Amino acid sequence: MPSENQCPVCGMAVDPQSAPSATYDDQTYHFCSEGCRDQFVNDPASFVGNTGS
């Protein structure tokens, strides 16, 4: 299970207190930068490993 304190785009550690965040599928994700947040928002499914049927 990925850490809540990890950028789902690049895997860097993040500080949830100050990092940019986005909500997808009722989960809040934190990002190391606005750039990673933008990538995630453009295509969240490719970063959350949603392979369930």
The CA-based angle 11-27-34, given to 5 degrees, is 50
Nearer to Zn ion, 23 or 53 (CB): 23
Nearer to Zn ion, 38 or 50 (CB): 38
Nearer to Zn ion, 29 or 32 (CB): 32
Which residues would be at the binding site for Zn ion (CB under 5 A)? 7, 9-10, 12, 32, 36
Least distance (Å) from Zn ion to the CB of residue 12?
5
* CA separation, residue 44 to residues 3, 6, 26 (Å): 16, 15, 12
